[in-house]
A and B are shown apart, each in its own frame.
Chain A
């Protein structure tokens, strides 16, 4: 099976602080990697490097066959990134935000409308989609953010605390879109190992000042 993610000795520092220390990961297509570790261990840093939002300080990184950071431009549009911030404009409605994202990702207008309705329905957001994001609860924003993350049908999902702010129903609905499944390769950062470890093909444990351990 081809590797979707290949990391060899990847590290990143901010000034003199090493945020990510020599990570080796090999993740095949349709596998899930669950990343665990205490606050400040570099989980989000790792995800942002994989998403091309941050340059590594050293080591080798290949994602979907593209070498980072030199071929990052080839990778954009193939990644679904769900971070701490919902990446939604507060003064636009949920539907307007999704239309904006669809246009940035080059999804045709008609196809985008169909896809947006499908996603909103899947996450139980169709009735709240015309409200301004600023007026929605954190859980509702997270649902919209999940719609944004998968809108363009990415080849790789990078999920940072995907369950945060979601209620039980929201978690179950979200699982249908970003949970493990055919065609989905995922990296999931979590503080909830009980929920996510059963669906992990590999686990990466990051520690502060310690070398990462893959199991």
Chain B
């Protein structure tokens, strides 16, 4: 058997190299988020947001932008025979799941590097809550990456994958989004960040991440079977 670390880094490096060369996912995700912020800005007719509304706008935008990347996560494996190539190799197939989660995490982090500062410029009066927001972003991204990778691997074999991913993914990430907005809301409160129940929401996010990472790791091998 090839060491899992070697296979993991090979698959992750391949995915990142392909994305850097083709820019198929990241620019679309970033452009979508910027456009959505513009729509919210004019749609709500507000120059500043706070509390639950700010958290809702931020997470709804990031979630739908993430769906664009999740839709394309396994397209190369499906269309270019990557699944077969990986199934023929002497590797633990769960490594593919881990590498795809890592790739999606990197995409989401890159998206947020663009989207969150733009969100702050468009809607926030001060940047006081942005520091602790990083922890919320990281934990939410991990949950989104684990669930998104799982759903994407199931949907990729269907011609209706663009429809299936949001239809199956969105209900599954409702608890994640409740926790993410719950943790974000006090950070973006009017008058500066507060930490009311912040730790509790972070624990909920961590629990969600743990459950879906373990479920993905456990079932991914079966999803690759014929």
Contact = CB atoms under 8 A, between A and B. Distances in A.
A101 to B, nearest CB: 7
A96 B84 contact: no
A101 B1 CA distance: 14
Contacts, number: 83
A51 B14 CA distance: 24
B225 A87 contact: no
Nearest to B82: A89
B6 A53 contact: no
Contacts of B86: 104
A91 interface: yes
A91 to B, nearest CB: 5
Contact of B88 (A81, A90, A92, A103): A81
Dominant SS among interface residues on chain A: loop
User: Which of B3, B17, B21, B90 has the most chain A CB within a 10 Å cutoff?
Assistant: B90
A149 B1 CA distance: 18
Q: Interface size bucket, B side?
A: 20 to 34
Contact of A76 (B6, B17, B76, B90): B90
Scoring B2, B80, B88, B91 by chain A CB atoms within 10 A of each residue's CB, the highest score goes to B88
Interface in B56-98: 76, 80-82, 84-91
B18 A89 contact: yes
Interface residues of A, number: 29
A85 B84 contact: yes
Contact of A55 (B21, B76, B82, B225): B225
A60 to B, nearest CB: 19
A96 B84 CA distance: 18
A87 B84 contact: yes
A54 B6 CA distance: 26
B225 to A, nearest CB: 7
A87 B85 CA distance: 6
Contacts of B14: 89, 92, 96, 100
Contacts of B76: 89-91
Contact of B80 (A81, A85, A96, A106): A85
Interface string A137-174: 00000000000100000000000000000000000000
B94 to A, nearest CB: 12
B80 A89 contact: yes
Nearest to A76: B90
B187 to A, nearest CB: 39
A87 B87 contact: no
A83 B3 contact: no
Interface in A26-77: 48, 51-55, 73, 76-77
Contacts of A96: 14, 17
A103 B7 contact: yes
Contacts of A91: 18, 21-22, 76
A89 B3 CA distance: 22
Contact of B84 (A83, A90, A106): A83
B10 interface: yes
A54 B226 CA distance: 6
Contacts of A76: 87-91
A79 interface: yes
A151 B21 CA distance: 25
Nearest to B85: A87
A88 interface: yes
Given A53-B88, A91-B21, A105-B2, 11 more contacts: A55-B225, A76-B87, A81-B84, A85-B84, A87-B84, A89-B80, A91-B18, A101-B89, A104-B7, A104-B10, A104-B86
21 contacts: A48-B226, A52-B88, A53-B84, A76-B87, A77-B2, A81-B88, A83-B81, A87-B82, A88-B80, A90-B76, A91-B21, A96-B14, A101-B89, A104-B2, A104-B10, A104-B85, A104-B86, A104-B91, A106-B1, A106-B3, A148-B85
Interface of B: 1-3, 6-7, 9-11, 14, 17-18, 21-22, 76, 80-82, 84-91, 225-226
